[in-house]
């Protein structure tokens, strides 16, 4: 029986002989809602990519649902920091999400695939826009479509790399509410620079700058965050929106 979605032990990654991740030891629970925070170049995106099997570790052990990373049976949804697409390509919202049910060449989409697309779009409140061209969406709407595409295969782990980057502040609360609903069915890992915002929504925080400074509850994260950023940090306690743990 698998106890965690991800388990890492002494994981190290280097690029061109330069260390990117050093001696990483941590795990992601099956129902975790985790934020990974840290400065630019600290290895946050790299950490997601080794979980996906896109980057190989140089040392250490890593298992994803008890398998090697990159195993096609690993139930993972992924939203990268930058989604590349041609805005002039004539594809609508429904077909964009349907592409997430890809089964390989020469295999057609089934009625079940289309039902799953409708369910995913309903989950992100975009079902009524199924016929709209993807290029005509706002940044927040587009992120919702890409989330639907990431969850349409019903993953047990959802990896989100800076998903709030293209969403205006007014849309961010509804986006966090969406993630709160999704976490009932999957573990969610959210990479972000916005320490104050994510701390009021997630259960746990991992502070990463090449090495892991802290991995645990939000309530105990202020001191290791200050050590990593070298400045005072404001944190809002999860579930207590007006309790500030550390004054800036």
What pLDDT digit, counting tens, does each position of 121-156 carry?
999 999 999 999 998 998 888 888 999 999 999 999
The answer for residues whose C-beta is within 8 angstroms of residue 164's C-beta and 6 or more apart is 172, 175, 192, 194, 197
Spatial contact of 38 and 228, defined as CB atoms under 8 Å apart: yes
The pTM assigned to this predicted structure is 0.85
Q: What's the CA gap between 219 and 238, in Å, rounded?
A: 8
Q: In DSSP terms, which residues pair with 92 in a beta bridge?
A: 133
Is the pLDDT at 227 greater than 80? The verdict is no
- pLDDT, mean of residues 177-204: 84
* Per-residue pLDDT tens over the stretch 76-122: 999 988 777 777 788 999 999 999 988 776 578 899 999 999 999 99
What is the DSSP code string of 57-121?
Answer: -SEEEEEETTB-TT-TTS-EEEE-SS----TTS--BHHHHHHGGG---TT-PPPHHHHHHHHHHH
pLDDT, the chain, mean: 84
Q: Which of 165-179, 201-215, 226-240 has the highest mean pLDDT?
A: 201-215
> Tens digits of per-residue pLDDT, 152-171?
999 999 999 988 876 777 77
Q: What is the pLDDT of residue 201?
A: 81
Domains of the chain: 1-75+157-248 (3.40.50.300), 83-154 (no CATH)
Looking at residue 239, its pLDDT comes to 46
Classify residue 72 as exposed, middle or buried by CB count within 10 Å of its CB (0-12, 13-18, 19+). Answer: exposed
Summarised one tens digit per residue, pLDDT across range 38-59 is: 888 889 999 999 999 999 999 9
Q: Report the percentage of the chain scoring pLDDT > 70.
A: 85
């Amino acid at each position: 029986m698998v106890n965690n979605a991800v388990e890492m032990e002494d994981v190290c990654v280097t690029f061109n002989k330069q260390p990117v991740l050093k001696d990483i030891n941590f795990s992601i629970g099956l129902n975790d809602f985790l934020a990974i925070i840290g400065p630019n170049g600290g290895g946050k995106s790299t950490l997601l990519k080794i979980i996906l099997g896109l980057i190989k570790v140089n040392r250490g052990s890593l298992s994803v649902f008890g398998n090697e990373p990159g195993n096609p049976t690993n139930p993972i949804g992924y939203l990268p920091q930058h989604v590349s697409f041609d805005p002039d390509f004539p594809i609508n919202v429904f077909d964009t999400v349907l592409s997430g049910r890809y089964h390989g060449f020469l295999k057609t989409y089934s009625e079940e695939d289309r039902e799953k697309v409708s369910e995913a779009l309903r989950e992100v409140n975009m079902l009524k826009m199924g016929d709209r061209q993807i290029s005509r969406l706002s940044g927040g709407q587009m992120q919702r479509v890409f989330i639907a595409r990431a969850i349409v295969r019903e993953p047990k782990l959802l990896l989100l790399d800076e998903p709030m980057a293209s969403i205006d502040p007014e849309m961010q609360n509804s986006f966090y509410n969406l993630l709160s609903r999704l976490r009932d069915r999957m573990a969610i890992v959210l990479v972000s620079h916005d320490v104050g915002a994510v701390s009021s929504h997630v259960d746990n925080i991992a502070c990463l700058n090449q090495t892991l400074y802290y991995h645990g509850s939000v309530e105990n994260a202020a001191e290791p965050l200050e050590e990593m950023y070298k400045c005072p940090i404001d944190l809002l306690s999860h579930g207590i929106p007006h309790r500030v743990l550390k004054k800036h």
